Structure 1
Amino acid sequence: MINKSYKKLLEGKSIIRELSEYATARGKEIGYENVFDYSLGNPSVPCPDGYTDAVVDMYNQENPMTIHGYSPSLGIEDVRAAVAKSLSKRFDIAYEAKHIFMAIGAAGALAHAFRLVTEPGDEIIVFAPFFPEYKEYIGRTGAIMKVVPPQTKDFQINFEAFEATINEKTMAVLINSPNNPSGIVYSQETIKRLAQVLEEKQKEYGHEIFIISDEPYREIVFDGKDCPYPAKYYDNTLTCYSFSKSLSLPGERIGYVAVNPKAVDADILAVIMGQISRGIGHNCPASTSQLAVSKVLDETSDLSVYETNMNLLYDALVDMGFEVVRPGGTFYIFPKALEEDANAFCKKALEYDLILVPADNFGCPGYFRMAYCIDTEKVKRSIPVFQRFVKEVYSK
């Protein structure tokens, strides 16, 4: 018999993927250059030459067994050591290879982190707005996802609601900064206050509560600022990272979990994640990807286009009368729709070939997400279309 719970998922297809597929089909009708597709968060800039050069050099010079053989369950030792060295230098935390677990992208990192610190029935707290796939990532572990409602004035953590949600069943708090979908970067003040609350609750409940920090957008920050690194402020932190956005390598599916060396049982947590892999088959990331990223750990793609696009859209949206919090990073912007039902709003936008994602599945009804990882020229061409849509449909 086919698993009924997975079969049922066919009834609730990802709205992001659904809209992306619509945009592709519409593009075949009118030319994709005429479809203003803000649906999918797929990087729009090439990876650095250094990554490509590293791959080419390996294929020309390395022993084929090195690049095509299975990697160890925890990742290639030299790669883990290189990641630890880079993080230690950057964030002044004494990571060693034993604290690094190489994973198949951020999704693989999260899959291991959730299972590492929870048993079925335990709770993981998530802050809205959140990446919709968290529901399945967490739910399929047997843990329960508890959602803290958003603080829409700035999309920092709603601490009053958080403290009403946390309880003795809470084993982890999942944060995502810079945030998909809001683009907001949690402030140092927010991270410090979160750490303080969790320290108090650990003592009150008599067990550890981990921060699982989902950080694929860590390098995409604006206005010359840095994104606070949660592990610097809280010992029991698991940092889940992907090179998909920083190096524009989503198809390579490579990332890691970095265990704070001061965390409880820090020296064996990566080893335990290796055992978790045995149960979920989410193990042994591609050797080529691991070896190549280890050569460019301190590089990024040219990410400046995302800030350019953000500024263009933010200014235009404000001018059109939208309520929108200015993003501090990522390649997403998160305006409030011009009517209560964001689904209806986004459906009307389709008539203008504007592909926008309603945010109900992100835990924030009434808002919509725009992924502006597209050519700047196309962003510029979309603005008059957006203005016409708003004027004709909403008389603004």
Structure 2
Amino acid sequence: MIAQHYVDMLGGKSVIRQLSEWSTARGTEIGYENVFDYSLGNPSVPCPPKFTQTMLRLLQTCDPVTLHGYSPTLTIPSVRAAVAENLRSRFGVPYTADHIFMTTGAAGALAHALRCVGVPGQNVITFAPYFSEYKPYVEGADMTLRVVPPRVEDFQIDFDGLEALLDKDTAAVLINTPNNPSGVAYSPETLRNLASCLQAASAKFGHHIFLISDEPYREIVFGGAAQQHPAAYYADTLTCYSFSKSLSLPGERIGYVAANPACEKAELIVPMCGQISRGTGHNCPASLIQLAVAECLDVTSDLSVYERNMELIYAELVRLGFTVLKPGGTFYIFPKALEEDATAFCRKAQDYDLALVPGDGFGCPGYFRMAYCIDTKKVERSFDALRRFVRDCYGR
């Protein structure tokens, strides 16, 4: 007998993946250079030279048996120590190696963090618009995802909405800043208010309500803004990070969980992650990649292309009359569609070889996402198709 739950999931295939597959198929017909694929958030800039050089050196000079062997259950101590020192020096939170656990990207980090602080039957609260995979992540841990409706005027947190959902069964609040899909970064004021809210709720309900901070876009912030670290605002925070965006390494599947040293049972979080790995079959990311990223914590890919693309797209959308917030980071922008049904809007865009993602799956109907991690020249060439689409279908 097979598991019906996963059979049922086959009917819920990601719209993002469907659009990406459509773009690829369409590209075989007309040339992919003529398909303006804003569907998938796949980094478009190469990893930094230092990462490549580090990989080559490790492969050429290290004992192969050691280099390609299993890492310790709690992941490589020297790597954990390097990550802790980097976070400590940047954000002033006194992490040590004992507070870091290396994972298979941010998804692996979230899988561990959710299981560290929640038990089956509890709920996790997040804020629309939110990354659509949060639902299977949370439900995979036998918990329920509750969604606070979007505050569309600025996509910061609606605290009245949050307080309405917090209850005795709330295990954690899950945030993503800078945010996929909106591109908005939570302000220091928002983070301070969130910390106060969670402190009050924890006291009210008699248990620690954790903050799980999903931060794969932490390094992609615009306008010279300071990078925020929510753990610096709230003690009971588990930070989930990925090097997929900062180092352009999505295929290497490497990230970490960082437990704020001041959180409840901080000394147990990493050992618990080791046991969670046993139960989920995670069993540590590749030793080679752990060692390589540990030497590249002070560099990023050339992330400036994303800000350049954002400025171009934002200006064009405003010129065409879209309602849109200017992103503070990531490589996403989230305009309001020109009709109430964003899915219909995005279907019409396909006739102009534009792949746009409707906001329904992000908990925000009526909006659509553009992932502008593509070549800048292609961004500029897409504007002719966008203008024709808007003119022909909406008279603008």
User: Does TM, normalized by the shorter one, top 0.5?
Assistant: yes
Match of 2:70 in 1: 70
CA contact (8 A) 1:104 1:283 kept: no
1:326 partner letter: K
Does residue 157 (structure 1) correspond to residue 183 (structure 2)? The answer is no
Which digits, 9 at most, give the CA deviation of each residue in 1:245-279, with x for residues without a partner?
00000000000000000011111210011001111
Structure 2 CA distance, aligned partners of 1:282 and 1:391? 50
Deviation of 1:227 (Å): 2.7
Which digits, 9 at most, give the CA deviation of each residue in 1:229-256, with x for residues without a partner?
1011100000000000000000000000
Does residue 329 (structure 1) correspond to residue 332 (structure 2)? The answer is no
2:259 partner letter: V
Structure 2 CA distance, aligned partners of 1:137 and 1:333? 24
Match of 1:292 in 2: 292
Structure 2 CA distance, aligned partners of 1:262 and 1:14? 37
Match of 1:135 in 2: 135
Match of 1:113 in 2: 113
Match of 2:387 in 1: 387
Deviation of 1:283 (Å): 2.2
Does residue 304 (structure 1) correspond to residue 270 (structure 2)? The answer is no
CA contact (8 A) 1:185 1:329 kept: yes
Match of 1:359 in 2: 359
Structure 2 CA distance, aligned partners of 1:104 and 1:113? 13
TM-score (norm 1): 0.99
Deviation of 1:384 (Å): 1.6
Match of 2:278 in 1: 278
Structure 2 CA distance, aligned partners of 1:342 and 1:129? 14
Match of 2:178 in 1: 178
Structure 1 CA distance, aligned partners of 2:6 and 2:69? 32
Structure 1 CA distance, aligned partners of 2:37 and 2:141? 33
Residue 51 of structure 2 aligns to a residue in which SS? helix
Does residue 254 (structure 1) correspond to residue 254 (structure 2)? The answer is yes
Q: Percent identity?
A: 62
Structure 1 CA distance, aligned partners of 2:139 and 2:283? 20
TM-score (norm 2): 0.99
Structure 1 CA distance, aligned partners of 2:201 and 2:298? 36
Match of 1:201 in 2: 201
2:121 partner letter: G
- Name stretches of at least 5 consecutive residues in structure 2 with no aligned partner: none
Which digits, 9 at most, give the CA deviation of each residue in 1:13-48, with x for residues without a partner?
100001000000000000000000000000000000
Structure 2 CA distance, aligned partners of 1:125 and 1:241? 19
Deviation of 1:10 (Å): 1.0
CA contact (8 A) 1:185 1:227 kept: no
Does residue 169 (structure 1) correspond to residue 169 (structure 2)? The answer is yes
Match of 2:18 in 1: 18
Match of 2:241 in 1: 241
Structure 2 CA distance, aligned partners of 1:74 and 1:249? 22
Residue 241 of structure 1 aligns to a residue in which SS? strand
Residue 226 of structure 1 aligns to a residue in which SS? coil
Deviation of 1:140 (Å): 1.0
Residue 335 of structure 1 aligns to a residue in which SS? coil
Deviation of 1:2 (Å): 1.4
1:76 partner letter: I
Structure 2 CA distance, aligned partners of 1:347 and 1:207? 46
Deviation of 1:154 (Å): 0.4
2:332 partner letter: Y
Match of 2:79 in 1: 79
Structure 1 CA distance, aligned partners of 2:136 and 2:98? 29
Structure 2 CA distance, aligned partners of 1:94 and 1:140? 32
Which digits, 9 at most, give the CA deviation of each residue in 1:318-357, with x for residues without a partner?
1101000110000000000000000000000000000000
Residue 16 of structure 1 aligns to a residue in which SS? helix
Structure 1 CA distance, aligned partners of 2:111 and 2:30? 40
Structure 2 CA distance, aligned partners of 1:73 and 1:360? 40
Deviation of 1:385 (Å): 1.2
Structure 2 CA distance, aligned partners of 1:90 and 1:175? 20
Residue 258 of structure 1 aligns to a residue in which SS? strand
1:171 partner letter: A
2:59 partner letter: Y
**Structure 1 runs, 4 residues or longer, greater than 4 Å off:** none
Structure 2 CA distance, aligned partners of 1:73 and 1:326? 43
Match of 2:347 in 1: 347
